[in-house]
A and B are shown apart, each in its own frame.
Chain A
């Protein structure tokens, strides 16, 4: 599966959130750690609901966390 056009800053945001682990973020959002890992690597595009939840965890707006890069 190729890298998807939706990029994100989750890794960076985790770093600035006291090195929050993928597991911690996964538990806060309600998905598995593997899903967070796939989202971070741009191998899976989350639903809007999960995208909003991730943005909410970091106190950011959704477009600050996720960006669409057309191919």
Chain B
């Protein structure tokens, strides 16, 4: 496949985000039903592990990419890369804003009707509000990377 350096770099970010945070959210959902304090401790450990993993994977793979494409890495981005980055950022930002409003909505709804936590099992996720916000951010990142890749592929 004929890909530019920037496109390869975005593929690395997309796949590493999906793998690391896919695993993270899968583990977080499986904590539902555990004693609250224990679940919070495990959630904190999982978040530290996810943070460590995403930073390590990005450094290793982006580094390998830069070493194997030394000339392209030194060149940086051109106007087409910047245009697709700008378009991707716009789409990602819109998704993030929706996520932030959903988080605010969940805070207000739970403030008005705290008994909802008992009715909906998913709300028993440890640090629920923080995780809704984190999910919004990760989802917006996935959409941002995906839309950039879509523009690269469709202008090929």
List the interface of chain A (C-beta within 8 A of B): 1, 30-35, 37-38, 41, 43-44, 46-47, 49-50
Taking a contact as CB atoms under 8 Å apart, the answer to whether B3 and A35 are in contact is no
Tell me, yes or no, whether B155 is within 8 Å of chain A by CB. Answer: yes
Taking a contact as CB atoms under 8 Å apart, the answer to whether B79 and A47 are in contact is yes
- State the CA gap A37–B78 with chains docked (Å): 13
Q: How large is the interface on B (under 10, 10 to 19, 20 to 34, 35 or more residues)?
A: 10 to 19
Give the distance to chain B from A11, nearest Cβ to Cβ, in Å. Answer: 16
- State the CA gap A44–B4 with chains docked (Å): 15
Taking a contact as CB atoms under 8 Å apart, the answer to whether B151 and A30 are in contact is no
Tell me, yes or no, whether B81 is within 8 Å of chain A by CB. Answer: yes
Known: A32-B72, A35-B78, A38-B80. A1 touches B4 (CB 8 A): no
- State the CA gap A58–B80 with chains docked (Å): 21
List the interface of chain B (C-beta within 8 A of A): 2-7, 72, 75, 78-81, 151, 154-156
Taking a contact as CB atoms under 8 Å apart, the answer to whether B78 and A32 are in contact is yes
- State the CA gap A21–B149 with chains docked (Å): 25
Known: A34-B3, A38-B155. A44 touches B78 (CB 8 A): no
Give the distance to chain A from B48, nearest Cβ to Cβ, in Å. Answer: 38
Known: A1-B154, A43-B155, A44-B155. A34 touches B79 (CB 8 A): no
Cβ of A32: which chain B residues have Cβ within 8 Å of it? 4-6, 72, 75, 78, 80-81
Give the distance to chain A from B145, nearest Cβ to Cβ, in Å. Answer: 18
The 4 tightest CB contacts between A and B, nearest first, are A1-B154, A31-B78, A34-B4, A43-B155
Give the distance to chain A from B98, nearest Cβ to Cβ, in Å. Answer: 25
Name 26 interchain pairs, CB-CB below 8 A, sorted by A. A1-B151, A1-B155, A30-B78, A31-B80, A32-B4, A32-B5, A32-B6, A32-B75, A32-B78, A32-B80, A33-B4, A34-B2, A34-B3, A34-B4, A35-B78, A35-B79, A37-B2, A37-B156, A38-B80, A38-B155, A38-B156, A41-B156, A43-B154, A43-B155, A47-B79, A49-B79
